Structure 1
Amino acid sequence: MKKIVSVLLFFAVSMAFAQSKNARTSLVVDGVCGMCKERIEKASIKTKGVKSSIWNVETHELKLIYNAKKADLGEVKQNILAVGHDVNDLKASDEAYNSVHACCRYRDEAVKDDHKNDK
């Protein structure tokens, strides 16, 4: 009986420990279209420890699931900035922003207006 209790206790502690490594967070990332979505998700998922990356075109919310022991959120933000998208209060460099396709220039009001009909 002691063995069974010990095994069950060990299993429960192991499961709790495994689940505690996964963390969730949300970031606000500027963009306007499906091409932006692909670029943003690819840039964030390439960061070591990021397990899931889903960006919503309408809300601009990037939902991340990551291993808190391996992933660095600062690195995730830098990877997104490097591909030309603003993250929270951080602004991508002009060089990075200008590298995105012309239809993805989310700082341009005319481009934003063009994408309003896409929804």
Structure 2
Amino acid sequence: NWLPQLAAAGGVMRAAALDLRGYGDSALGRMQSTVGDYCDDILRVKEELGADRLVLVGLSLGSWIATSFAMRHPEMLAGLVLSGGCTGMSEASLEERETFRVSRKVPLDAGQT
């Protein structure tokens, strides 16, 4: 999903895309992932890249994760770009969040992109 953007940004800065758990080449895992898990994943990528500060770009669910990361680690950000996000997920019940997560997984399990 992010390859064209990586190619464009990579010409002027170091750029990487994070496959969220269950997306791209990343396994879903045995337990339900939390936003904290995703934020920890961003921290691991930051460490692997040796980056001091990040510009996070989030689309849809990624904007929710990027916002959550920004709230937890504002000192680690040089910028934040959000698109097509939903801010209500933080207020959603556990059941609503699980329903959303499962609905995102169904087409992937069916071999769709």
TM-score, normalised with respect to structure 2: 0.32
Whichever of the two has the greater Rg, that structure is 1
Q: Which is bigger in relative contact order (C-alpha 8 A, separation at least 6)? A: 1
Bigger proportion of residues as strand: 1
